[in-house]
Amino acid sequence: MSFVLTCPNCGVREVTDFAFGGEVTERPKSRPSTRELNTYNYFRRNVAGVQREWWYHRSGCRAWFLAERDTRTNDVHWTAMPEAAP
Amino acid sequence: MSRLDPQPGERVDRARVISFEFDGKPVEGFEGDTIGSALYASGQRTFSRSFKYHRRRGLLCCAGQCPNCLVAVDGAPGVRACTEPVREGMRVEHMNASPSLDFDLMAVTDRVGSRFTPPGFYYKTFIRPRRLWPLYEKVLRNAAGLGRLARAAREEREWRTEYRRRHCDVLVVGGGEAGLTAAIEAAESGADVVLVDEGLEPGGWLLVDGSVERARELAERARAAGVEILSNAPALGYFDGLVPVWQGSTLHQIRARRHIFATGSLEQPLVFENNDLPGVMLSTGARRLIALYGVKPGRKAVVANDNGVADVLRAAGVDVHVAEADVVKAKGRRTVTAAVLSNGETIDCDLLVVSGGFEPANSLVRQAGANAEAVGEVAASAQCPVPSAHREARGKAFVCYCEDVTAKDFKLSVAEGYDSAELSKRYTTTTMGPCQGRMCGAAASRLIAEETGQSLEGVGTTTARPPWSTVPLGALAGRPFEPAKRTPVHGRQREQGANMLWAGDWRRAYDYGDPQGEALSVHESAGLIDVSTLGKLIVRGPDAGEFLDRLYPNRFSNLGPGRVRYGVLTSDAGRITDDGTVCRLDDDTFYVTTTSSGAGAVEQWFAWWLADWRMDVTLTDVTQGLAAINLAGPRAREIMSRVCDIDVSASAFPYLDGQRGRVAGVPSLILRIGFVGELGYEIHFPSAYGEDVWNRILEAGADHAIRPFGLEPQRILRLQKMHILVGQDTDSESNPYGAAMPWIVKLDKEEDFIGKWALERAVQQPQETALVGFTLPNGDVPTEGAVVLNPDGGPMGQVTSARHSRQLGRTIGMAWVPAALAEDGAGIVISDEGRTLDAEVVTRPFFDPDGEVLRS
Ligand code: FES
Ligand SMILES: [Zn+2]
């Protein structure tokens, strides 16, 4: 696996600069059922395709940001701070 | 000496003599020579011994493509003599021959060994009887491999590589005429271009065929157009668009938008009996010796498949015989003395120049996922069949030089059913040597086709994989990056006799030689410990209180300014992830400490939720900006009062207060917390004053026999108080209920918090095991990790901490035990490496259970 990501603060960097935060999941808004809670805690969709995900610029500015990436090709369509994300 | 008159465009500077050593003997060459050209000019013909049969091998390609001239230079093995420039005083040694290159005991395998080393011998010969495998393995390990890394080189680690990352528009691999032209065109149209070439200077074949002027002119133009040219820099592979390029002590990681592979072609050897004898040389190899180094490759040459090389040799004064028929055998013991042709002729010679046509060097293109097809001149030459001479061979006709695989081996492996390129590669190890199949991939495919009657396309080639060029592992590893964090008091602690140990990235004082005594003096008078490694975060903003309320199961928004509260962090699954104290500095500002090992993860965790929740809060990590030391013991207050400018009396500075003041003149945040169970002050202050504050406190406490103490006495002291150590007493399954801290969870908090829903469930579910203290009356100390047994004898929990306490006069510990046994006085049975120990459960702290000492 090798590709580049554009940190919204720092610019283009190798993927090894970053920590992967996984796909963006929705934390339940109110008290979930056991099933909903377990799904939230333990299940991931793991799509083969375009995915919205979290990245952390560990070896850089230490900001969390969002990215949209095609997990099949590692094409990164965009990256953005959460408040600016499409 | 076999130097010719100066050749036009030759690389050597005959005015400058370079002396070096080969196997202890002095050799002279010229500036610009390679080890190979200088040795060849001095008469050396054998350069190495082969991998399996220890046969003599000499110069073949003179371009770094074959395995024949691998030597060790100054202790570093695996250097290609034919491309490595000579340096004054370098020590060159042969590899894979013992005791010497000329007399190699293992050469006996050439005569008797082939019976024991048929293709696939890894799977056949050394398998039975099974119980002898350890012996076989030892022998094989000793015989396998080619070089030895000198012990000194390993220990001194004097050779290091750096990484360099380079992004560009166009990367051109290959600096021949085509590569240079492409680079110029791209750069002149405005692109940012990098060109990498494995040669010592760009130009490729132009340098050999008399067009040096043109090569230099092209390189000049390329540079003028802004092309970054990296010479002596082989590209190692293609990884999803990233091309690592090794250049001496730098590993360039080049990422380009577009790639141009102008990697040229590779001349292939011919397969006939003894085709590996020194003196058998590729036509391009002979031409390189002449053109680049002015070295005469031989006196009398036989040329098989003349491609124009005969004229070049003649011009260099070599007596040339162009063979009218296929060469079926090379004769000679140490070097070639004659060539035997298929028409029965035997022609004396000291050089046998061969050419099996050219194969495109397309590995990188294929690694990039392209289908490669040869066209033009190379395609035409590639039609040249492998002569069938090998059929009559009685001795060895080599297909793969690196791995010592003969044509006969191939026939055998095809007969055993390995009839495709991929299968025979794995079975015979052909193409798996240092040259990565450059010299044998084509011949192997043709041989299989011939044996099986398939078409070449049917046989296929093996998948192209990195590395395309061999590279020292050290170059891939790069500079070892092992951060060592030292606290601001590190040096002083060393001077005071601390035994340092690694704790994550940190170096910490384990003890000062007397852990029990150090612990006892904290209890009896006073001790000082460096806790600068604690994670320290400033959480500030109008939403700071609410932010912490959402992150911790307990509440912080109602904490008064100047007060301190302990907190445990949980995940949304309700598991304990870290713990520490939180001090509210003012309405908007909290000072959060974390465990030493958890500092990075907690900051990352906080930042993540902050990014998600987008609250009006800022996070600042001050872990390394601030030092922290903890002064504890019954005399702590008195010592504090001597160094501190604020009132530290029990009424003015009560337990769990956090106040600002100057300690030894340094502005500090002082937290009165029960870190080790005694009256104690944790002092946080700017790192730069670390040693100064440390020294001043020790001086101030000298008459109370204050002692510095380390991590180990700290563990004893904290264990006496049953303070859990996250990650030691808890694991990724532990929640606060099991860990006997139900009071830390405020399920009645109106806001939602991380872990709430899981903890709501956990509180209703009976826990199977519970974390409790235990004590042993006699001197036994169970191993951490020892098993706690169920009443029925099955395992049900484990010991997580155990220490002897001199202060308490017994063994104390923490353990996960069956929930039914989690009550004071219950007996538990610990099974520890064959011993069975009876212990007694204690649920409240061993020392000062009501916290009177703490609050005093
Ligand atoms: S000749 Fe090098 S791998 Fe076969
Ligand atoms: Zn960044």
Proximal ligand: closest to the CA of B403: 1
B244 contacts in chain A (CB < 8 Å): none
Distance from CA of B611 to the nearest CA of A (A): 6
pLDDT: is B763 or B378 the higher one? B763
Q: Tell me which of B440, B461, B462 to substitute to probe ligand 1's pocket, judged by most ligand atoms within 8 Å of the beta carbon.
A: B440
Full domain range(s) for residue B597 = 535-622
Cα B337 from Cα B749, distance rounded (Å): 95
In this structure, which CATH number among 3.20.80.10, 3.40.50.300, 3.20.20.370, 3.30.2270.10 belongs to the domain A4-26+43-84? 3.30.2270.10
Rounded Cα distance between B609 and B544, Å, is 13
Q: Does residue B721 sit in helix, strand or coil?
A: coil
Are residues B501 and B715 in contact, defined by beta-carbon separation less than 8 angstroms? no
From the list B240, B573, B603, the residue facing A2 with the nearest CB is B240
CB contact at 8 A, B318 and B306: no
Of B165, B621, B758, the CB nearest to A37: B758
Q: What Rg do the C-alpha atoms of chain B give, in angstroms?
A: 37
Assigned domain for B508 exists:
no
Residues of A with CB under 8 A from a CB of B: 1-4, 12, 14, 19, 21, 27-28, 30-32, 34, 37, 40-42, 54, 56, 58, 62-65, 74, 81-83
Nearest to A83 among B167, B607, B614 (CB): B614
pLDDT for B46 equals 94
Separation of CA A12 and ligand 2 centre (Å):
9
What is the position in ligand 1's atom list of the atom closest to the CA of B436? 3
Whether B367 shows a pLDDT value over 50: the answer reads: yes
Nearest CB to A41 within list B572, B603, B607: B572
pLDDT, tens digit, 9 for 90 and up, residues B18-41: 999 999 999 999 999 999 999 999
Give the start-end residues of each E strand in B381-423.
398-400, 405-406
d(CA B628, CA B263): 59
Please provide the average confidence, as pLDDT, over all residues in chain B.
Answer: 90
Peptide bond into B634 cis (omega under 30): no
pLDDT of B374 strictly over 90: no
B440 Cα–ligand 1 center, Å: 5
If DSSP states are collapsed to H, E and C, what string results for B738-791? CCCCHHHCCCCCCCCCCCHHHHHHHHHCCCCEEEEEEEECCCCCCCCCCEEECC
Atom of ligand 1 nearest to the CA of B431: 3
Residue-wise pLDDT for B265-305, tens only, equals 999 999 999 999 999 999 999 999 999 999 999 999 999 98
Confidence of residue B383 (pLDDT cuts 50, 70, 90): very low
Residue B378 in domain: no
B684: tokens are 């946080």
How many A from CA of A6 to the centre of ligand 2? 8
- Distances B149 to B75, B256, B472 between C-alpha atoms, Å: 7, 35, 11
CB contact under 8 A, B611 and A65: yes
Q: Which amino acid type is present at position B471?
A: V
Q: Which helix (H) or strand (E) holds B448?
A: helix B441-452
- Alpha carbon dihedral B594, B595, B601, B604, in 10-degree steps, equals 10
DSSP letter (8 states) at residue B89? T
Select from B260, B240, B251, B259 the least CA-distant residue to B165: B251
Q: What are the residues facing B818 on neighbouring strands?
A: B769
Q: Are residues B541 and B462 part of one domain?
A: no
- Assess whether B545 and B459 both reside in one domain: no
pLDDT tens profile B818-845: 988 999 999 999 999 889 999 999 999 9
Strands in B25-116 per DSSP E: 25-31, 48-49, 56-57, 70-73, 76-80, 91-93
- B828 in helix, strand or coil? strand
| Residue B247 falls in which region: left (phi positive, over 0), alpha (psi -120 to 50) or beta | beta
Beta-sheet strands, E only, within A39-83: 50-56, 64-70, 75-80
Tokens 């092309």 — which residue?
B227
Is the CB of B474 within 6 Å of ligand 1? no
pLDDT of residue B719: 96
Question: Which region holds residue B574: left if phi is over 0, alpha if psi is between -120 and 50, else beta?
Answer: left
Q: Which range, of B103-107, B143-147, B175-179, B643-647, averages the lowest pLDDT?
A: B143-147
pLDDT confidence band for B386 (50 / 70 / 90): low
CB B312 within 8 A of CB B287: yes
Q: Is residue B431 part of a domain?
A: yes
Contact B603 A62 (CB under 8 A): yes
B617: closest CA of chain A, how far (Å): 14
User: The domain spanning residue B247 has which CATH number?
Assistant: 3.50.50.60
- Closest ligand 1 atom, CA of B432? 3
Q: What are phi and psi of B691, to 5 degrees?
A: -70, -35
- Looking at the structure of chain B, the number of domains it has is 4
Q: Taking CB atoms and an 8 Å cutoff, what residues of chain B touch A74?
A: 240
| Residues on chain B touching A34 (C-beta within 8 angstroms) | 761
- Environment class of residue B140 by beta-carbon count within 10 Å: exposed (0-12), middle (13-18) or buried (19+)? middle
Mean pLDDT computed over B591-602 = 94
The nearest CA of chain B is from the CA of A77 a distance in Å of 16
Q: Which amino acid is at B131?
A: R
Q: Is the dihedral of CA B230, B235, B281, B176 positive or negative?
A: negative
Contact B253 A40 (CB under 8 A): no
Round to whole Å and give the CA distance between B267 and B439.
Answer: 8
Query: Distances in Å between the alpha carbon of B460 and those of A75, B419, B457, B561?
Result: 31, 10, 5, 76
Lowest mean pLDDT among A77-81, B98-102, B436-440: B98-102
Ligand 1: nearest atom to the Cα of B401: 1
pLDDT at B215: 97
- The answer as to whether B252 is a domain residue is yes
DSSP string covering B126-152: TTSSGGGHHHHHHHHHHHSSS----HH
Q: What percent of chain B has pLDDT over 90?
A: 71
Mutation site for B-interface testing, chosen from A33, A62, A76, A81 by largest number of B Cβ within 10 Å: A62
B67 C-beta closer than 6 A to ligand 1: yes
- Going from the C-alpha of B370 to that of each of A2, B238, B259, B495, B846, the distances in angstroms are 18, 11, 12, 63, 71
Range with top average pLDDT, B454-468, B678-692, B743-757: B678-692
Specify the amino acid at residue B672.
Answer: R
Centroid of ligand 2 to alpha carbon of A11 (angstroms): 7
**Which tokens in the block code for residue A69?**
């990436």
Residue B569 pLDDT greater than 80, yes or no = yes
B271 CB within 6 A, ligand 1: no
Do residues B705 and B699 make contact, with C-beta atoms less than 8 angstroms apart? no
Q: Residue B453 contacts by C-beta under 8 Å, 6 or more apart in sequence?
A: none
Strands (E), B613-706: 618-621, 626-632, 658-663, 666-671, 680-686
Which tens digits make up the pLDDT trace of B78-122? 899 999 999 999 999 988 777 777 777 767 667 665 555 666 666
Instruction: Tell me how far apart the alpha carbons of residues B493 and B508 are, in angstroms, rounded to a whole number.
Output: 9
Rounded CA gap, B378 and B266, in Å? Answer: 9
Nearest to B466 by CA among B247, B258, B200, B245: B245
- Encoding tokens for residue B316? 């260099």
CATH number of the domain that B819 lies in?
A: 2.40.30.110
CB contact under 8 A, B757 and A32: yes
Q: How far apart are CA B643 and CA B293, in angstroms?
A: 78
Cβ atoms of B685 and B627 within 8 Å: the answer is: yes
Q: How far apart are CA B56 and CA B77, in angstroms?
A: 18
B235-249, B517-531, B559-573: which range is least confident on average? B235-249
Residue A26 is classified by DSSP as P
Which residues of chain A are within 8 Å of residue B758 when distances are taken between CB atoms?
A: 37, 41
Nearest CA distance, A2 vs chain B (angstrom): 6
Tens of pLDDT, residue by residue over B183-223, are: 999 999 999 999 999 999 999 999 999 999 999 999 999 99
Q: What is the mean pLDDT of chain A?
A: 94
pLDDT band at A24 (very low <50, low <70, confident <90, very high): very high
CB within 8 Å of B705: residues ≥ 6 apart: B521, B525, B526
Rg (CA), chain A: 14
**Is residue B609's pLDDT more than 70?**
yes
Tell me if B413 sits within 8 A of B403, measured CB to CB: no
Place of tokens 């090998």: B390
pLDDT band at B710 (very low <50, low <70, confident <90, very high): very high
CA gap B426, B444 in Å, rounded: 12
Q: Of the candidates B273, B347, B335, which has an alpha carbon nearest to the alpha carbon of residue B303?
A: B347
**Which residue of chain B comes nearest to A39, CA vs CA?**
B573
- How remote is the C-alpha of B63 from its chain's centroid? 30
> SS3 for B551?
helix
Q: What is the average per-residue pLDDT within B487-501?
A: 96
Smallest CA–CA distance from A24 into chain B, residue: B612
Check pocket membership of B275 for ligand 1, CB cut-off 6 A.
no
Around Cβ B266, how many Cβ atoms within 10 Å?
Answer: 25
DSSP B385: P
Ligand closest to the CA atom of residue A61: 2
Identity of the residue numbered A62: R
Mark out chain B residues that contact chain A at CB-CB < 8 A. 165, 167, 239-242, 253, 255, 572-573, 603-604, 607-608, 610-612, 614, 621, 752, 757-758, 760-761
Residue B439: CB within 6 Å of ligand 1? yes
Domain-embedded: residue B850: yes
* Per-domain residue ranges of chain A: 4-26+43-84
Q: Which of B70, B396, B439 to mutate to test the pocket of ligand 1 (most atoms within 8 A of CB)?
A: B439
Q: Quote the ligand 2 centre to A2 CA distance (angstroms).
A: 18
Chain B: give the shortest CA distance to residue A79, in Å.
Answer: 14
Q: Give the count of beta carbons closer than 10 Å to the beta carbon of residue B423.
A: 16
Ligand nearest to the CA of A55: 2
Instruction: Please judge whether A2 and B165 are an interchain contact, meaning their C-beta atoms are less than 8 angstroms apart.
Output: no
> Who's near B849: CB < 8 A, 6+ residues apart?
none
Q: Is residue B601 part of a domain?
A: yes
HSE (CB half, 13 Å, CA atoms) of B165? Answer: 13
pLDDT at B446: 86
Considering only the beta carbons, identify the residue of A1, A31, A58 that sits closest to B757.
A31
Q: Is B401 in the pocket of ligand 1 (CB under 6 A)?
A: yes
